[in-house]
C-alpha cells in the first residue's frame, strides 16, 4: 500500500457514516436503482435469448477453475508469448511495485501525459494520484471514468463508474471543465467529451489499459469496451502499459469465446460490446500503427494469498458486475459506502481478502445473505457463502466485540438446554412488558435492541409460548 493510500484510508470515515451519507444523498438511490434495473433486466433478457444459461455457467466456471488451478503454467505460457510478440512482461507483488514499474517507464520515456482506458487494478494502486504527484497528466478516456475523475472521486461500480451521477451533475462537471455553460443534452455533453478526448489521445506519451483477459496461447491482451477508447489509448501513444490482475488469464481462444459470451451478457446484457480488442505485442515492422513498446505488468497485490485456500474461487471472478447489479444492499447505498476499490458483494468479499481485515471488518456483514449475488454470478462463485466464511474467520481471529462473543457463547448454552431456553423466553416477556405498548410492542428497545427499534416496532415474547401451549392444550387436542 502506498503512503498516499494509507493516509486516505485513515481519513476514510467509518462504515456507518459512509452508509448514512449515501442514504441521505438526494438522488444517489434513485440513480443507482434506475441503472441497476436496466442492467439486471438486460442480463435476464440476454440469458433467455442465449438459452441453456445454467449450462453456460457450468462451462465458464469449469474454465475459470481450471485456469486458476494451473495459473502458474498459464502465466508462464502467456509471458513467453507476450515476449515472443515483442512485448515486455513485469511481475509486481505489491501495489508499490506496480507504481515503481510505471514510474520507471514514465521516466525513461520522459512522459508528460498519460491516457487511460478503464482499469480497476490501477484503482487498487491509486495510480492516477501518484502519477499526478509526479507532474504527469493523467486523463481517463472511458466516459464514466472521466466523469468521476473530474469529480475527483473513485468509481462507484466496476463497469458503470459514474452510476451514482445524474445528468445535472455531469453537466456541471463538464461545464466547469469546458469553461462555459453546456446544455443538459446528451449530444452536447458527449460532443464535448469526444473533442476533449481526441486532443488528449493525440498528445499522450503513454496509454495505460487494464486487461479483461490475457490469452495464454497467443500472448494477447483482450480489452472489452463500448466506446472504442481502449483502441485509441493503445494505438496513438508510443508506449502501451497493460496493468492486469494475475488471474485474468484465458488459456485458449476457445475459452475466451465462452468467457466473453458470459462477460458482456452478465455485465450489460449485450451479446457483445461495441469493441472487443485483442492486442498481440507492439507495432511490428511494416505496420502503420500501434505502440512502439508494450509493457504488461502482472499484478499480485494480495491475490496469490487466496490460492490454495477456501477462497481460491474468488479468483474466478471475471469482473462483470452482475452481483453488484442485483445486490439489494448496493441498491440502497451505492458503491462508495463500501469504501474499497471493489463495491457490492464481490467487493465485500475481495477487499478483506486483498487487504486484510484491518479497516474492513464490517464489509463481510454488509450483506443480508440473500444470495442474489451467488445466483447472478456467471462463473458460479458462491459469494454469500464466502461472506459467511469471512465472518467465521473474523470470529476465529477475534475481530468481533467481546460482548458479541459472550452473547453467542450464551446462545450456544441455551440452545443445548431447552428448559433454560424456555425460562429465558419467559423472562423476556416479563422484562419487556413494562416497556411495551398496549399491544405488546416495544418502540424504543434497550441496549442491543436499539438497532432494531430505531426503525421498527418489536413484539415482546408472547405470554404463552408455543411449547407452553403444547403442554397445556396442544398435545391433548390431537
Partner 1 sequence: MQVALFITCLSDVFYPSVGMSVVRVLRRLGVEVDFPTEQTCCGQPAFNSGYRQDAAKAAKQMIRAFEGYDAVITPSGSCAAMVRKEYPHLLNDDSEWKERAQSLADRCYEFSEFLVSRLSLEMIDARLEGKATYHHSCHMYRGLRLTEPPLQVLSQVQGLEVVNLPYHEDCCGFGGTFAVKMSEISQEMADEKIQHLESTEADYLIGSDMSCLMHLGGRIRRKEKSVEIMHVAQVLDRGMMK
Q: How far is the CB of 467 from partner 1 (least distance, A)?
A: 6
Q: How far is the CB of 386 from partner 1 (least distance, A)?
A: 12
Q: What residues does 225 pair with on adjacent strands?
A: 275
Q: How far is the CB of 123 from partner 1 (least distance, A)?
A: 24
In the bound state with partner 1, the residue whose beta carbon lies nearer, of 245 and 345, is: 345
Contacts with partner 1 in 3-42 (CB under 8 A)? 16, 19-20, 23, 29
Strands 458-459 and 275-279: unpaired
Q: How far is the CB of 352 from partner 1 (least distance, A)?
A: 13
φ, ψ for residue 267, nearest 5 deg = -75, -55
Contacts with partner 1 in 293-332 (CB under 8 A)? 328-329, 331-332
In the bound state with partner 1, the residue whose beta carbon lies nearer, of 191 and 413, is: 413
Q: How far is the CB of 66 from partner 1 (least distance, A)?
A: 24
Nearest 5 degrees, angle CA 415-CA 420-CA 422? 90
Contacts with partner 1 in 224-283 (CB under 8 A)? none
In the bound state with partner 1, the residue whose beta carbon lies nearer, of 206 and 327, is: 327
Q: How far is the CB of 420 from partner 1 (least distance, A)?
A: 9
C-alpha cell at 225: 469496451
Name which position in 58, 284, 470, 472 contacts partner 1 (CB under 8 A).
470
Contacts with partner 1 in 330-389 (CB under 8 A)? 331-333, 364-372, 374-375, 388
Q: How far is the CB of 268 from partner 1 (least distance, A)?
A: 20
In the bound state with partner 1, the residue whose beta carbon lies nearer, of 22 and 143, is: 22
In the bound state with partner 1, the residue whose beta carbon lies nearer, of 179 and 478, is: 478
In the bound state with partner 1, the residue whose beta carbon lies nearer, of 7 and 451, is: 451
User: Which region among 49-57, 247-255, 306-314, 415-423 touches partner 1 (by CB under 8 A)?
Assistant: 415-423
In the bound state with partner 1, the residue whose beta carbon lies nearer, of 283 and 331, is: 331
409 binds partner 1 (CB under 8 A): yes
Q: Write down the residue that cell numbers 497493460 correspond to.
A: 242
* Total site size for partner 1, rule CB under 8 A: 71
Strands 113-116 and 137-140: parallel
Name which position in 7, 191, 395, 431 contacts partner 1 (CB under 8 A).
395
**What does the H/E/C string look like for the chain?**
CCHHHHHHHHHCCCHHHHHHHHHHCCCHHHHHHHHHHHHHHHHHHHHHHHCCHHHHHHHHHHHHHHHHHCHHHHHHHHHHHHHHCCCEEEEECCHHHHHHHHHHHHHHHCCCEEEECCCHHHHHCCHHHHHHHCCCEEEECCHHHHHHHHCCCCCCCCCCCCCCCCHHHHHHHHHHHHCCCCCCCHHHHHHHHHHHHHHHHHHCCEEEECCCEEECCCCEEEEEECCCHHHHHHHCCCEEEEEEECCCEECCHHHHHHHHHHHHHHHCCCCCCCEEEEECCCCCCCCCCCCCEEEEEEECCCHHHHCCCCCHHHHHCCCCCHHHHHCHHHHHHCCHHHCCCCCHHHHHHHHHHHHCCCCCCCHHHCCCCCCHHHHHCCCCCCHHHHHHHHHHHHHHCCCCCHHHHHHHHHHHHHHHCHHHHHHHHHHHHHHHHHHCCCCCEECCCCHHHHHHHCCCCEECCCCCCHHHHHHHHHHHHC
Contacts with partner 1 in 131-190 (CB under 8 A)? none
414 binds partner 1 (CB under 8 A): yes
Q: How far is the CB of 408 from partner 1 (least distance, A)?
A: 4
Contacts with partner 1 in 418-437 (CB under 8 A)? 418, 421, 425, 428
In the bound state with partner 1, the residue whose beta carbon lies nearer, of 236 and 373, is: 373
Q: How far is the CB of 411 from partner 1 (least distance, A)?
A: 5
In the bound state with partner 1, the residue whose beta carbon lies nearer, of 120 and 426, is: 426
In the bound state with partner 1, the residue whose beta carbon lies nearer, of 37 and 72, is: 37
In the bound state with partner 1, the residue whose beta carbon lies nearer, of 214 and 378, is: 378
For 355, residues 6+ apart whose C-beta sits below 8 A from its C-beta are 1, 302, 340
Q: How far is the CB of 403 from partner 1 (least distance, A)?
A: 13
User: Which region among 150-158, 162-170, 257-265, 450-458 touches partner 1 (by CB under 8 A)?
Assistant: 450-458
Amino acid at each position: 500500500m502506498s503512503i498516499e493510500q494509507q493516509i486516505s484510508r485513515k481519513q476514510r470515515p467509518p462504515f456507518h457514516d459512509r452508509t448514512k451519507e449515501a442514504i441521505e444523498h438526494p438522488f444517489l438511490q434513485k440513480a443507482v436503482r434506475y441503472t441497476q434495473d436496466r442492467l439486471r433486466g438486460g442480463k435476464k433478457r440476454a440469458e433467455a435469448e442465449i438459452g441453456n444459461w445454467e449450462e453456460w455457467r457450468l462451462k465458464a466456471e469449469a474454465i475459470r477453475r481450471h485456469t486458476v488451478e494451473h495459473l502458474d503454467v498459464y502465466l508462464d505460457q502467456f509471458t513467453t508469448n507476450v515476449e515472443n510478440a515483442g512485448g515486455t512482461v513485469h511481475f509486481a507483488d505489491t501495489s508499490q511495485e506496480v507504481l515503481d514499474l510505471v514510474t520507471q517507464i514514465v521516466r525513461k520515456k520522459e512522459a508528460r501525459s498519460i491516457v487511460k482506458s478503464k482499469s480497476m487494478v490501477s484503482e487498487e494502486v491509486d495510480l492516477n494520484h501518484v502519477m499526478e504527484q509526479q507532474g504527469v497528466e493523467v486523463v481517463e478516456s472511458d466516459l464514466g471514468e472521466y466523469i468521476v475523475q473530474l469529480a475527483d472521486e473513485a468509481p462507484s461500480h466496476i463497469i458503470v463508474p459514474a452510476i451514482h451521477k445524474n445528468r445535472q451533475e455531469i453537466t456541471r462537471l463538464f461545464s466547469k471543465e469546458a469553461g462555459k455553460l453546456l446544455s443538459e443534452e446528451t449530444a452536447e455533453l458527449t460532443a464535448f467529451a469526444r473533442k476533449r478526448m481526441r486532443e488528449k489521445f493525440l498528445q499522450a506519451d503513454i496509454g495505460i489499459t487494464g486487461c479483461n483477459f490475457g490469452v495464454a496461447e497467443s500472448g494477447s491482451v483482450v480489452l472489452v469496451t463500448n466506446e472504442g477508447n481502449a483502441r485509441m489509448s493503445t494505438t496513438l501513444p508510443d508506449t502501451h502499459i497493460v496493468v492486469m490482475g494475475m488471474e485474468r488469464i484465458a488459456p485458449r481462444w476457445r475459452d475466451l469465446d465462452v468467457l466473453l459470451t458470459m462477460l458482456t451478457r452478465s455485465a450489460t446484457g449485450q451479446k457483445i460490446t461495441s469493441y472487443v480488442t485483442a492486442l498481440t505485442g507492439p507495432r511490428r515492422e511494416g505496420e502503420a500503427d500501434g505502440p512502439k513498446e508494450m509493457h504488461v505488468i502482472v499484478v499480485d497485490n494480495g491475490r496469490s494469498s487466496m490460492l490454495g485456500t477456501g477462497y481460491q474461487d474468488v479468483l474466478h471472478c471475471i469482473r462483470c458486475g452482475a452481483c453488484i447489479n442485483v445486490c439489494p444492499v448496493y441498491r440502497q447505498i451505492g458503491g462508495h459506502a463500501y469504501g474499497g476499490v471493489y463495491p457490492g458483494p464481490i467487493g465485500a468479499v475481495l477487499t478483506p481478502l486483498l487487504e486484510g481485515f484491518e479497516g474492513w471488518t464490517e464489509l463481510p456483514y454488509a450483506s443480508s445473505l440473500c444470495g442474489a449475488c451467488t445466483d447472478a454470478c456467471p462463473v458460479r462463485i458462491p459469494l454469500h457463502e464466502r461472506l459467511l466464511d469471512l465472518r467465521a474467520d473474523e470470529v476465529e481471529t477475534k475481530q468481533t466485540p467481546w460482548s458479541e462473543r459472550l452473547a453467542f457463547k450464551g446462545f450456544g448454552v441455551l440452545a443445548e438446554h431447552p428448559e433454560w431456553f424456555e425460562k429465558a423466553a419467559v423472562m423476556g416477556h416479563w422484562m419487556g412488558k413494562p416497556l411495551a405498548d398496549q399491544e405488546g410492542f416495544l418502540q424504543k428497545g434497550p441496549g442491543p435492541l436499539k438497532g432494531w427499534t430505531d426503525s421498527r416496532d418489536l413484539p415482546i415474547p408472547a405470554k404463552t409460548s408455543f411449547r407452553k401451549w403444547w403442554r397445556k392444550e396442544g398435545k391433548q387436542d390431537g
